[in-house]
Amino acid sequence: MTETQPISVLVVDDDEFLLAEFVDMVLATEGLSLAGSANSVATARAWMAKGNPPDVAVIDLGLPDGSGTETIRDLVAMSPQVAVLVITVFCDEDHLMQALEAGARGYLLKECSQQEFEKAIRQVHAGESPLSAAIARHLLRRLVPSSPSTSAQPGKGMPPIPALDALSRREIEILSCIANGHSVPETADLLSLSRHTVSTHVKNIYEKLAVNNRTQAVNRARATGQLR
């Protein structure tokens, strides 16, 4: 009986912390294997030029030396069999449509959980088109008529993020360290705190931002203007 080959995944993201998070998610998931990673359009193109395409390419749209949409278009042109999954902070219709027109099969927001990340990779590999729930709700609101009392105001786009408890100065310092790729022990050393104190603050940050992991915390804090 032939064993099922793992799904090979290429990850492209310019944020070193998030890139490491996504790489770790791939490595920690049974049935997935890491084909490679890149932090820019140039490094992604150099990787693709090696001629060993992955099964799935997870690509960010905001890259420092060009558009992730261009990278998608280039990859699809070179290897049409590759299933492209966008992972981004952009939750508007314009970015979604541009990515899909370039050849992306799925569109995921960076605040996703590891389970959502894994599921979306398997779905695009199977020929499906996964969308983050927030994106799907936005499209449904545009396609399905609603009553005046519930319809969105014209020009407002995506609904605002619900009001969240503000992070304290210390919590922002800790989250900034985490956003820069530091572990809890490293953050404790940098801020001259105990590891227990940092862990407690991290737990409080998660509760205030209504998230479950570091990636979600960083993206939610950035989206709400509490973290640059």
Rounded CA-CA distance 182/118 in Å is 24
The per-residue pLDDT for 13 is: 92
Q: Where are the domains of the chain?
A: 7-138, 169-223
Pairing of strands 66-67, 62-63: antiparallel
The per-residue pLDDT for 121 is: 96
Token pair for residue 161? 């993020």
The per-residue pLDDT for 153 is: 43
Rounded CA-CA distance 204/223 in Å is 18
Residues 6+ apart with CB under 8 A from 146: none
Q: pLDDT (tens digit, 0 to 9) for every residue of the chain, 228 residues total? A: 345 899 999 999 988 888 998 999 999 999 999 999 999 999 999 998 888 899 999 999 988 888 899 999 999 998 999 999 999 888 777 888 889 899 999 999 887 888 889 999 999 999 998 988 777 766 666 555 544 444 444 344 444 444 556 888 888 889 988 888 888 888 989 999 888 888 888 888 888 888 777 887 888 888 777 887
The per-residue pLDDT for 51 is: 83
Q: What global pTM score does this model have? A: 0.65
The per-residue pLDDT for 195 is: 84
As its CATH architecture, domain 7-138 has: 3-Layer(aba) Sandwich (3.40)
Q: The domain 169-223: what is its CATH number?
A: 1.10.10.10
Residues 6+ apart with CB under 8 A from 34: 8, 9, 11, 23, 26, 27
